[in-house]
Amino acid sequence: MIRFEEYLAQMCDGEVIMEKMAPALHQKLGASPDSIVALIVRTDGDPARYLPRLAELGFAVGHQFRLLPGVSVRGRARAALSLLDEAWVLRIEEDHPVAAM
Please tell me the total number of residues recorded for the chain in this structure. 101
Instruction: Rank residues 13 and 85 by Cβ distance to another protein and give the closer one.
Output: 13
The residues, any chain, with a CB within 8 Å of residue 62's CB and separated by 6 or more, are 71, 72, 73, 74
Q: How far is the CB of 14 from another protein (least distance, A)?
A: 9
Determine which residue in the list 50, 70, 76, 89 makes contact with another protein, applying CB under 8 A: 70
In the region spanning residues 12 to 51, those forming contacts with another protein, defined by CB under 8 A, are: 12-13, 15-16, 18, 38, 40, 42
Q: How many residues bind another protein (CB under 8 A)?
A: 25
Closest CA to 19 of 79, 90, 78: 90
Separation between Cα atoms, residue 14 and residue 41, nearest integer Å: 19
- Tell me: does residue 2 bind another protein (CB under 8 A): no
Separation between Cα atoms, residue 79 and residue 81, nearest integer Å: 5
Instruction: Rank residues 43 and 79 by Cβ distance to another protein and give the closer one.
Output: 43
